[in-house]
Structure 1
């Protein structure tokens, strides 16, 4: 279903407790999965009852206003009261104001979720067009609904095999582009800029996209494995997570490869933690986040020094930020305030964006844009679309990976960093 003006749609969502112990991913649609999972828990959506499409510089404000209007008139029966139960829209937004990519909010017909040992099904319809189950009034402690109340689960097909190949920017082109970025930093045009390169592959048009999501979720369990409107990935970087007016964000900037053995790995972590180049890059990112959030919160705290976060393929410098939201703010308002962070754009933001538009010979699309979900209360979880790929209906896959460039960046080393960041998608296709 295409988007409608807020006044033209009145949605009804009924959430029911179910018995469900197995994986959630099998409930998603194989061709158009809607997924937000971490360590096996989260939500998957099936079908589409409403879609909102947004473009340009006002895309976040338009989406926030539209969703607020829909949520205000929605009929929601949710005895579960877990993150992701009730009325939920999955969302994915373009990185740049000028992007040709469409930003979307998608409300599924059915959502299957699990959190803290409680599983549920939410069925969503346009109010007045269908009957809803009286089981909606069950409390989480009541007898669970039989398994046949769940939507159909289908076996996940074989994952498609393909090899990523450099696309618009060759490796040499990328090294040269980073060199030009360093020159502009030394000239004082920017303090930091994130330069990305793209890679492509082709998979069968009828391939089961859930297989790629499952590979990413299994390999990177601490990330949010996501699939929204053809964008599939596993992001380590939480943009913002909101629940009951409290929010948290994790800032990642500065990274290095994992070591080949325990000693080498420990040395790599220590080197990252003491690298002035990486510490400076990280501080840019943290200050960008704090500055953006202050108008929308009543309190904000951040750890005094970054910690090293271990992922299967690399170490990151990380800082956690905790917030208390102002009464009139929602998750989408915070997303709008935060994007783009210095971790994916640079600093100062406007100058970095202008330099990205000048140096990168492609449209990033929804790469490095916010992706996640929002519920009727404005709560939700949003990450930055990293370690991801867009898959078109014809099977064309486009992935991106970027590196934060500062004054003492080595272009060859930055190329190596992008290779590490392509690995999650590359490995999922092997």
Structure 2
């Protein structure tokens, strides 16, 4: 048995259904401890349950992994006001779900999804399915938390639902996990046909335009994104991409979110905000340098990065912004005075951790809305930087650089930002990479930096191994 407990199913579901109806609930959520299930196996074989939605999430420390398949309740918005709308809908769902309290991080009913970078679109294009916000509660979810495995199953009930109906659905999930929960996926070689950077010369000129505006004191920093299109011979398998990213994960979050034939996938080193009861954790990540080929070169590059005025200036914008934003929500806030070095696979970053104790009645969505976009993703001042992004960037950002994460029924959860990312549809992938531009920036150097940032995702897709053009 995959599940470690013994369950008299008929009596169990009869009691759950009775308890839920007594409390006038519309949903039931059940959490059980489990063994011998691999999250990527659950993710890969999702079509066996006749569903078209799935997600995968692993945190920086790789201590929390979530895999959800099937949408019990979707929440989709394409207008402004998406933060308050999602929060109200989630609160309403939590009022309507019958659940037993389980004190395990990332279990029970959770809401997984993300917001767009901008609160409204300039155009829709390839982000149409995602809207300004898209979240859902999965039907089946696997959680690995601090080495322990849990299964959450979520059910909608009506006046006509019987315990036999719930038992049947439970057996479908159980059979799926028994058959596929430890089955190793098989992958075929996928050949890169072409890759093309979108308007590279125009992008470099836009960096120069941004620098000119800074010299005119119109703003202090802006983050500009550029795009690469990669086309393969066959449809891209996101499970294979995740395997590749996990193999070289370093300190990254890795997440994937699929809606029908679109998959947004990211290996981001940057947390936006995590909430655990009254404690919050964020980070300041801005300022980059290439990694060296040896330990000595890395030490040299790290020392240079710590002392480089341009990168320290860029980093300080983020530290000041996050400090000023969070201090209104926190009764205590701890931010070290000096940054340290974070090493990812391809880059070194200036990094400052942030930890705080919240005032009462502060929600995770409140914090996400207040923080996004930080100067690390938008610029500073926020309003002027976002206006310049809209003016200079020809393509819609969608979920690039935007908040993505999850929230549970207790209001706890974790949000990262979707950098080092790609939007996949069939055999095509749009890759996104950005850089922070300040007055002392050099357009050619920023172009090189974004080129380095493309590499981890391009490598995971297979582009560096079988490049033909």
Is the partner of 2:272 in helix, strand or coil?
strand
Distance in 1 (CA, whole Å) between partners of 2:284 and 2:416 is: 10
Matched position secondary structure for 2:71: coil
What's the counterpart of residue 202 of structure 1?
231
Equivalent residue runs for 1:247-396 within 5 Å: 247-392=280-425, 394-396=426-428
CA distance in 2, matches of 1:356, 1:46: 35
Q: Does 1:55 align with 2:78?
A: yes
1:427 positional shift: 0.7
Deviation, 1:148, is 8.1
Note the C-alpha offset of 1:9: 8.8
Q: How many Å apart are 1:202 and its aligned residue?
A: 2.8
Cα root mean square deviation, aligned: 2.3
Shift of 1:164: 6.8
Distance 2:409 2:326 in 1: 22
State the match for 2:436 in structure 1: 404
| Alignment counterpart, residue 158 of structure 1, candidates 180, 187, 212 | 187
State the shift of 1:155 in Å.
3.4
1:205 Cα deviation after fit: 6.8
Q: Aligned-pair distance for 1:274?
A: 0.5
Partner of 1:73: 96
1:419 and 2:451 are equivalent in the alignment: yes
Structure 1 window deviating more from structure 2 (362-371 vs 93-102): it is: 93-102
**What's the counterpart of residue 41 of structure 2?**
26
What TM-score does the superposition give when structure 1 sets the normalisation length? 0.89
1:424 alignment partner, SS class: helix
Which deviations, in whole Å up to 9, do the C-alpha atoms of 1:198-255 show, x marking residues without a partner? 1112346754311111211221142111012321111100001111221101121001
CA distance in structure 1 between the aligned counterparts of 2:403 and 2:184, rounded to whole angstroms = 30
CA 1:150–1:240 in 2, change beyond 3 Å: closer, same or farther? Answer: farther
How far has the Cα of 1:93 moved from its partner? 1.2
Give the corresponding residue for 1:91. Answer: 113
Count of matched residue pairs: 408
In the alignment, is the contact (CA less than 8 A) between 1:161 and 1:429 conserved in 2? no
Are the equivalent residues in 2 in contact too, given 1:213–1:233 (CA < 8 A)?
Answer: no
- Write out per-residue CA displacement over residues 115-152 of structure 1, whole angstroms, 9 at most, x where no aligned residue: 1121100001113446467xx9xxxxxxxxx9986573
What is residue 57 of structure 2 aligned with on the other side? 36
**Contact 1:13/1:75 (CA < 8 Å) preserved in 2?**
yes
Q: CA deviation at 1:428?
A: 0.5
Say yes or no: does 1:115 pair with 2:136.
no
Bigger Cα displacement from structure 2, 372-381 vs 196-205: 196-205
Contact 1:226 1:232 in 2 (8 A): yes
Give secondary structure in 2 for the equivalent of 1:28.
Answer: helix
Q: TM-score, normalised by structure 2?
A: 0.82
C-alpha displacement of 1:381: 0.9
- 5+ long unaligned stretches in structure 1: 1-7, 137-145
The structure-2 alpha-carbon separation of the partners of 1:379 and 1:239, relative to structure 1 and needing over 3 Å to count, comes to same
Match of 1:222 in 2: 251
Q: Secondary structure at the match of 1:190?
A: coil
1:38-68 CA distances to partner (integer Å, 9 max, x unpaired)? 3374110011111101233311121112112
Superposed CA offset, 1:144-178 (max 9, x none) = xx9986573353242644367334322x2221111
Equivalent position SS for 1:415: helix
Distance across 2 between alignment mates of 1:398 and 1:308 = 29
Question: Partners in 1 of 2:40 and 2:329 — Cα distance?
Answer: 35
1:426 aligned counterpart, secondary structure = helix
Query: Who is 1:179 aligned against?
Result: 208
Structure whose CA Rg is larger: 2
1:193 to 217, 222, 229: 222
Gap regions ≥5 residues in structure 2: 1-23, 46-51, 463-469
d(CA) in 2 for partners of 1:300 and 1:33? 36
Q: 2:113, 2:134 within 8 Å by CA — same for their partners in 1?
A: yes
User: CA 1:148/1:400 → structure 2, altered by over 3 Å: closer, same or farther?
Assistant: closer
Structure 1 residue 300 displacement after superposition: 1.7
Distance across 2 between alignment mates of 1:162 and 1:217: 21
Q: Is the 8 A contact 1:252 1:319 kept in 2?
A: yes
State how far apart, in whole Å, the 2-side matches of 1:62 and 1:303 are: 35
